[in-house]
Amino acid sequence: MKQNIVLLPLIALLGCGSSTDPQTTDTPKAEVSTQIPDSLFWNADSLIDPIERKHFEHLRQITFGGDNAEAYWSFNGKMLSFQATVPAWGEECDQIYVFNPFTDDLKNNKPQQISLSGGRTTCSYFLPGDSLVLYASTHLGDTACPPVPPHVPGGKYIWPIYPSFDIFVSDLKGNIRKRLTDSPSYDAEATVSPKGDRIVFTSTRNGDLDLYTMNIDGSDVKQVTHELGYDGGAFFSPDGSKLLWRASRPKTPEAVKEYKDLLAINQVQPTNMELFIANADGSDAKQITNLGQANWAPYWHPDGKHVVFASNHKSERGFPFTLFMIDTDGNGLEQLTETDMFDAFPVFSKDGKYLMFSSNRGGVNRETNLFMAKWKE
């Protein structure tokens, strides 16, 4: 992972009978304090690079080994769900876990696993009430981990787009309560509006990788992107009025052919992507970056006026990946991290106090761990 983009883990793919309506599930009553003395909480301040001290007041390492990414906050800001492949936890491909970052010790204890049906899983997200989590899984196609396309030395970096991915809702004990999608296509990368009314996800049901939204119960599915290219990893703005996502837009005949040929065999090449913002119904779409190479894993700042994301646009070799922040109008680009490694999947807490992200820093064997920075403006 420290050498070239082709070594990024598959975890980077993501930007996800009777049942219970997610809206009717009771909210957990337990109250957990998020106020912990700095002296007891922060353990990785030595891994903060000088440029990062502008916004990182403190840094905590959350996980310690394997590939860990896409940690997303619960509505009440007291839990996180994430996906991981950690050999010590006994799984062979990405699975979904939930934990409390203020009380749980993931260095010495395995967190609560909620994907218990097998297959590969990805892109988890809490639903309103914080007692249910949605995620995408391939388990209905096969309970074994699906094969990963072999890397060809000197070849291009690709992601598999498994058609067996569908989106499910689980309780926090791993009981699947509802299946939200049912199509013979790739359905994944789902996230939930802060308003609690709609879900956005990526699907190939029309023959291309486009964004769709649906009600929280899976009804009223609407396509919201229509241009050729990969649209994925979308998030609603803090007020639920807009969407932010990554997209490829092949323009030349050669690029269009390559994109279509790869998609025909359920693959995509994510090495040229930019960030887009649109209204929640897909209207008035605007490209906000034009940096070149791979700009991806975007997430809203809680103020709704800025976006954080990962990019390798400053690298000639496709690596490292670095965190940046930019205004929603495409101005004010600011570099946030500066390691010669992999920093990606930045996610703000609802109150803006913390920034979760994945990084190679401080690790061995290219492991990717979760880190939480105490954020300062």
Residue 324 in any domain: the answer is yes
Q: At residue 238, does pLDDT exceed 50?
A: yes
Q: What is the mean pLDDT of residues 168-192?
A: 98
* pLDDT reported for residue 40: 54
Split at pLDDT 50, 70, 90, the class of 215 is very high
Residue 333 in any domain: the answer is yes
CATH of the domain at 133: 2.120.10.30
Residue 112 in any domain: the answer is yes
Rg of the chain over Cα atoms, rounded to whole angstroms, equals: 19
Q: What are phi and psi of 11, to 5 degrees?
A: -60, -20
* pLDDT reported for residue 223: 98
Residue 255 in any domain: the answer is yes
* pLDDT reported for residue 91: 93
Residue 31 in any domain: the answer is no
Split at pLDDT 50, 70, 90, the class of 363 is confident
Question: How many Cα atoms within 13 Å fall on the side-chain side of residue 376?
Answer: 8
Q: What is the mean pLDDT of residues 53-75?
A: 97
Split at pLDDT 50, 70, 90, the class of 15 is very low
Residue 135 in any domain: the answer is yes
Q: How far is CA 110 from CA 57, 65, 279, 358, in A?
A: 28, 12, 39, 18
Split at pLDDT 50, 70, 90, the class of 157 is confident
Provide the number of structural domains found in the chain: 1
Three-state DSSP string of the chain: CCCCHHHCCHHHHCCCCCCCCHHHCCCCCCCCCCCCCHHHHCCCHHHCCHHHHHCEEEEEECCCCCEEEEEEECCCCCCEEEEEECHHHCCCCCEEEEECCCCCCCCCCCCEECCCCCCCEEEEEECCCCCEEEEEECCCCCCCCCCCCCCCCCCCCCEECCCCCEEEEEECCCCEEEECCCCCCCEEEEEECCCCCEEEEEECCCCCCEEEEEECCCCCCEECCCCCCCEEEEEECCCCCEEEEEECCCCCHHHHHHHHHHHHCCEECCCCEEEEEEECCCCCCEECCCCCCEEEEEEECCCCCEEEEEECCCCCCCCCEEEEEEECCCCCCEECCCCCCEEEEEEECCCCCEEEEEECCCCCCCCEEEEEEEECC
User: What percent of the chain has pLDDT above 70?
Assistant: 89
Q: What is the mean pLDDT of residues 163-170?
A: 98
Q: What is the mean pLDDT of residues 93-115?
A: 96
Q: Which of 13-17, 238-242, 266-270, 340-344 has the lowest mean pLDDT?
A: 13-17
Q: At residue 38, does pLDDT exceed 60?
A: no
Provide the mean pLDDT of the chain: 90
Q: What are phi and psi of 205, to 5 degrees?
A: -65, -20
* pLDDT reported for residue 228: 98
Q: How far apart are CA 137 and CA 255, in angstroms?
A: 30
Name the nearest CA neighbour of 165 among 143, 185, 195: 185
Domain range for 355 is 5-25+36-375
Contact 144/138 with Cβ under 8 angstroms?
Answer: no
Residue 3 identity: Q
Identify any residues that bridge with 215 across adjacent strands, giving them in sequence order: 198
Residue 30 in any domain: the answer is no
pTM here is 0.90
* pLDDT reported for residue 230: 98
Q: How far apart are CA 352 and CA 368, in angstroms?
A: 23
Split at pLDDT 50, 70, 90, the class of 153 is low
* pLDDT reported for residue 317: 76
